[in-house]
């Protein structure tokens, strides 16, 4: 199969674009958080601030896309993805050749690195170290995932590093307090990977890899998933009670029915089997998107309420 046989749509779908909210939402939440805290952090939003935020958003999506293709390449080579597994089938079904995926990932990674260098030139060296950590974790993700460290990498790459990096890009300062907001968003993002690994325990064991879900066993893994999707709501309520964030972020509670539906689904696996959680990773991604959008709306609403 040659490159010419593929449409632009094929190349886009190969990056798994439906997963991009996992990386985009932390950046979006951070931008709105900074916007809502301008007086407190002695910063004024300008047109360039929004443009830098947009640049950051595009760049992290590129890194995410490259990471998805990179991970799929190694999952195929490691025989984690086979004809009888759930999830991505692009390489398994022969739509693309492995070498194409490898070059595609490296190409996307190169564009993302160039974009990151541009941001470093505009902002400063501290961003370089954050970016290098993100790139290194992305490249090492397959190895780390196969060693039961995937959940930790996801929390770092799709919660902690993006939020800290975005605060520096826009304000010129790293604002650690953003991590209070990063935790609940990141928890649901990690749950996407965790439920995927919970579903795939048997096939991952056959491939000779190790995941956190495998180490705990499916029963405990189910409990971990329940914690990861419900804890963010308690966390948000706690932030409001402690007056650390505006009460308007309680808008996130409107996504609670989705979370409860996911919990009910995962608790039924013993009776209904693996099929009951076969698509729960996608439903968890939808939860993360809705939760984050409501959080962004709550942060924006606090600005409107206080003029």
Q: Which of 101, 148, 109, 103 is nearest to 132 (CA)?
A: 109
Name residue, tokens 């939020």.
163
And the tokens for 116? 């990151």
Report pLDDT digits (tens) over 50-87: 999 999 999 999 999 999 999 889 888 888 776 666 66
Per-residue pLDDT, 1: 40
Per-residue pLDDT, 278: 82
Spatial contact of 284 and 188, defined as CB atoms under 8 Å apart: yes
The model's confidence at residue 3, banded by pLDDT at 50, 70 and 90, is: very low
Report pLDDT digits (tens) over 141-183: 988 989 999 999 999 999 999 999 999 999 999 999 999 999 9
Q: Give the torsion through C-alpha atoms of 55, 24, 123, 63, to 10 deg.
A: -80
Asked whether the predicted pLDDT for residue 257 surpasses 80, the reply is yes
């Amino acid at each position: 199969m040659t490159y010419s046989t593929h449409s632009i749509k094929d190349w886009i779908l190969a990056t798994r674009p439906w997963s991009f909210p996992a990386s985009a939402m932390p950046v979006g939440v951070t931008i709105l958080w900074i916007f809502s805290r301008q007086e407190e952090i002695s910063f004024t939003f300008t047109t360039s601030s929004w443009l830098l935020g947009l640049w950051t958003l595009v760049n992290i999506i590129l890194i995410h896309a490259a990471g998805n293709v990179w991970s799929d390449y190694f999952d195929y080579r490691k025989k984690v993805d086979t004809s009888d597994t759930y999830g991505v089938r692009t390489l398994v079904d022969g739509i693309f050749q492995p070498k194409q995926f490898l070059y595609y990932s490296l190409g996307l990674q190169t564009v993302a690195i160039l974009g990151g260098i541009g941001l470093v030139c505009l902002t400063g060296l501290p961003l370089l170290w954050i970016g290098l950590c993100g790139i290194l974790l992305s490249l090492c993700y397959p190895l780390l995932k196969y060693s039961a460290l995937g959940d930790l990498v996801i929390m770092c790459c799709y919660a902690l590093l993006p939020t800290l990096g975005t605060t520096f890009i826009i304000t010129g300062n790293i604002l650690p307090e953003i991590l209070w907001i990063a935790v609940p968003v990141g928890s649901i993002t990690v749950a996407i990977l965790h439920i995927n690994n919970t579903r795939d325990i048997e096939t991952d064991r056959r491939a000779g890899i190790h995941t956190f879900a495998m180490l705990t066993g499916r029963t405990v893994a189910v409990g971990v998933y329940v914690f990861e999707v419900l804890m963010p709501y308690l966390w948000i309520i706690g932030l409001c009670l402690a007056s650390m964030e505006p009460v308007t972020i309680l808008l996130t509670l409107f996504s609670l029915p989705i979370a409860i539906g996911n919990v009910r689904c995962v608790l039924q696996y013993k009776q209904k089997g693996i099929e009951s959680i076969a698509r729960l990773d996608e439903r968890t991604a939808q939860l993360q998107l809705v939760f984050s959008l409501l959080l962004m709306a709550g942060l924006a609403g606090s600005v409107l309420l206080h003029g």
